Chains A and B, each alone.
Chain A
Amino acid sequence: EDQVTQSPEALRLQEGESSSLNCSYTVSGLRGLFWYRQDPGKGPEFLFTLYSAGEEKEKERLKATLTKKESFLHITAPKPEDSATYLCAVQTNTGGFKTIFGAGTRLFVKA
């Protein structure tokens, strides 16, 4: 069964304390992996798309990487405004085109 698991469920950091969020997946026929940021009560905001193992994307304090089994979202020197839920989604075409979202990691950055 296709599955996307994100860890940890919640992460509390001090401002400036770098860390990584994990997204592991078991799907056949990966077509793409996406990272989103979601603020409470709002729609997810697109961050990155990764298509193949070894690929990396960066934006400000965020860097996303992809292997054959998982993806990491590295946050360098986070600020309180980085506090949000980070969602990982995997797109597959096996058994019909679909996008599967993980449950997300809630990030809290304290000043």
Chain B
Amino acid sequence: EAGVAQSPRYKIIEKRQSVAFWCNPISGHATLYWYQQILGQGPKLLIQFQNNGVVDDSQLPKDRFSAERLKGVDSTLKIQPAKLEDSAVYLCASSPTDIGNYEQYFGPGTRLTVT
């Protein structure tokens, strides 16, 4: 079974530029998550989708971050405009159900550096 795919793996941009990250979850997984992991910290949830609907985006900086999950499969996370403090690893994860507490499967992450 293929795991969670993410691209690109690395991205370097200047502040005020825009950037987009892509995630393809494990086939059949209904729930998709985007986490932000700043160096030296644990991952923090940005947004959770159930199929193509948003379940939790309470910690997403909506003035600059946006995310979508068209057709309930792939997802894109965008930052526009980027700030220096957005430098982090962006992790995508998926899980097979929205009921109970189930394991989340993580992709390799996208390392973003904002200069």
Binding partners A and B: no
Residues of B within 8 A of A (CB): none
Residues of A within 8 A of B (CB): none
